[in-house]
């Protein structure tokens, strides 16, 4: 699963550390998600989408190889 977290952070001018604090995870977790090394739980994906005021499928999406 791919995501647009880095893009959304840039639009909102939010650091990895600040996003991590808002949603209650470590900065390393945000980094791993941005590098597509970690797939978040449904609850975590919903928290991220809510933070960016977007739908989950605007941020997370499947690619053909998923």
Query: Model confidence over 11-31: pLDDT tens digits?
Result: 999 999 999 999 999 999 999
Q: How far is CA 16 from CA 21, 23, 57, 66, in A?
A: 9, 11, 20, 25
Q: What is the pLDDT of residue 65?
A: 73
- pLDDT range class, residue 32, cuts 50, 70, 90: very high
Q: What is the pLDDT of residue 13?
A: 97
The tens digit of pLDDT for each residue in 38-50 reads 999 999 999 999 9
CA distance 1 to 40: 10
Walk me through the domains of the chain, giving residue ranges and CATH numbers: 2-57 (1.10.260.40)
Q: Which two tokens stand for residue 31?
A: 């980094």
């Amino acid at each position: 699963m791919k995501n647009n977290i880095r893009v959304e952070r840039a639009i909102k001018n939010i650091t990895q550390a600040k996003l991590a604090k808002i949603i209650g995870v470590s900065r390393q977790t945000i980094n791993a998600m941005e590098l597509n090394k970690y797939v978040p739980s449904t609850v975590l994906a919903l928290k991220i989408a809510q933070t960016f005021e977007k739908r989950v499928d605007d941020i997370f999406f499947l690619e053909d190889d998923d």
